[in-house]
């Protein structure tokens, strides 16, 4: 078949369109329909477009820090919340030369030291998270020690006591674990002679407290802070004089450990099992002390009200006021600004120095 030349084809097409306009429109319309159908078919056959990928930036959540728990007695970290509520136990510890070196004293959270009789000092040790397994020698109780332990909701381990002290702790308001009525939880050592040889342990005391239902203590402790040695210490040598050379105590500040190396009677003050006693805080309370007649003559110390105090921590001395509103009220140390002074975490040693016969000095 012979195709017409393009120059002759176009006039023919033009004439045909002129002669047959309706057919032309029909063909054009058909062509448009066919084209539209082809386009629609192509579009339908095309794969559906994938939705756009939205990239969400990953925000890493910081893990919540594990809770930290502190002993209300010492301010030191403890393992869990239960440890902050466990029972406090107070123990009367002898301090005559025949009782030295004592056991379990270095572990105590707070130690009160005061004259018990004839110028001889005696300790009241308070324990919560610490659990020494040899404690003693245990001795008798005095009324002013009851006043100091009362705010701690503490069990009190002792062997008898003065008439006033026993009347108070046996009145039903205290957790009395006197050796007189709980002998199986104490024993007499064979390497010392009576009355300087009664000992106990926290294996036994915990069992005794558990048996009596003394499992938790709720109390207001001292406000505590982290310790940091001062770059300009002003009290590195301290003397607390209670009565005589055998019972007067001395402390040397140790910058490296930020503690106070304790001496008594001119010799290092030691725990028989744990070595040198080194409290983080030393406090001297000036107190009024008189003799009273109970079951014989006894020392009596005024523990309520207020009086001068001197606090040694971080190598620094701070003069303050001790304050105790009632037997059950907590002991506080108040600064010049009228606010309680925070004490460095760790063992706190509190000496009740008699006004008149005792003294406190430092340099």
pLDDT digits (tens, 9 = 90+) for 332-358: 999 999 999 999 999 999 999 999 999
Whether 295 maps to a domain, the answer reads yes
Confidence of residue 16 (pLDDT cuts 50, 70, 90): very low
**Per-residue pLDDT at 65:** 85
Q: What pLDDT sits at residue 57?
A: 73
Average pLDDT in the chain: 90
**CA 55, CA 189: separation in Å to the nearest integer?**
76
Q: Is the pLDDT of residue 64 over 70?
A: yes
Q: Is residue 50 part of a domain?
A: no
Q: Is the pLDDT of residue 81 over 80?
A: yes
The tokens for 353 are: 């120095």
Asked if pLDDT for residue 35 goes beyond 60, the answer is: no
In a domain, 31, yes or no: no
Q: What pLDDT sits at residue 58?
A: 73
Which pLDDT tens digit goes with each residue over 103-117? 999 999 999 999 999
Number of domains in the chain: 1
The residue-averaged pLDDT of 132-138 equals 97
Residue with tokens 């002993």: 71
The whole-number pLDDT of residue 28 equals 47
Instruction: Look at residue 63 in the predicted model and tell me its pLDDT.
Output: 82
For residue 215, the domain's CATH number is 3.50.90.10
Average pLDDT over residues 161-174: 97
Structural domain includes residue 95: yes
Lowest mean pLDDT among 4-13, 165-174, 227-236, 245-254: 4-13
* Model confidence pLDDT, tens digit, residues 188-223: 999 999 999 999 999 999 999 999 999 999 999 999
> Does residue 3 have a pLDDT over 90?
no
262 or 33: which leads in pLDDT: 262
* Residue 29 included in any domain: no
Q: pLDDT at residue 76 above 80? A: yes
Return the pLDDT at 229. 98
Q: Does 158 fall in a domain?
A: yes
pLDDT at 27 over 60: no
pLDDT at 34: 46
Q: Looking at residue 258, what is its pLDDT?
A: 98
Any domain includes 178: yes
| Residue 186 within any structural domain of the chain | yes
Beta strand pairing call for 343-344 and 224-225? parallel
Domain encompassing residue 295: 69-362
pLDDT at 167 over 60: yes
């Amino acid at each position: 078949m012979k195709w017409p030349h393009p120059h002759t084809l176009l006039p023919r097409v033009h004439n045909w369109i002129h002669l047959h306009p309706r057919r032309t429109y029909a063909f054009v319309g058909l062509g448009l329909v066919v084209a539209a159908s082809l386009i629609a078919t192509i579009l339908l056959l095309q794969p559906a477009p994938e939705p756009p990928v939205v990239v969400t930036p990953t925000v890493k959540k910081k893990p919540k820090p594990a809770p930290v728990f502190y002993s209300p007695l010492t301010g030191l970290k403890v393992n869990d919340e239960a440890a902050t509520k466990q029972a406090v136990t107070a123990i009367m510890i002898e301090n005559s030369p025949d009782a030295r070196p004592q056991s379990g004293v270095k572990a105590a959270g707070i130690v009160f030291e005061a004259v018990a009789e004839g110028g001889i000092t005696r300790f009241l040790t308070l324990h919560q998270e610490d659990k020494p397994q040899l404690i003693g020698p245990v001795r008798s109780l005095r009324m002013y020690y009851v006043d100091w332990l009362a705010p701690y909701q503490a069990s009190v381990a002792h062997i008898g006591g003065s008439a006033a002290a026993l009347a108070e702790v046996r009145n039903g308001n205290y957790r009395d674990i006197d050796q007189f009525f709980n002998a199986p939880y104490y024993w007499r050592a064979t390497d010392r002679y009576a009355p300087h040889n009664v000992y106990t342990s926290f294996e036994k005391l915990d069992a005794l407290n558990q048996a009596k239902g003394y499992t938790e203590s709720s109390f207001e402790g001292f406000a505590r802070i982290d310790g940091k040695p001062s770059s300009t210490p002003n009290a590195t040598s301290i003397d607390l004089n209670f009565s005589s050379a055998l019972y007067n105590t001395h402390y040397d500040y140790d910058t490296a450990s930020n503690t106070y190396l304790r001496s008594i009677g001119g010799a290092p003050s030691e725990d028989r099992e744990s070595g040198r006693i080194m409290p983080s805080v030393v406090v001297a309370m000036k107190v009024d002390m008189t003799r009273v007649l109970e079951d014989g003559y006894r020392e009596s110390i005024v523990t309520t009200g207020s009086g001068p105090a001197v606090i040694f921590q971080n190598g620094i001395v701070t003069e303050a006021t001790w304050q105790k509103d009632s037997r059950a009220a907590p002991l506080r140390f108040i600064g010049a600004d009228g606010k309680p002074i925070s004490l460095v975490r760790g063992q706190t040693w509190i000496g009740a120095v008699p006004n008149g016969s005792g003294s406190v000095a430092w340099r």
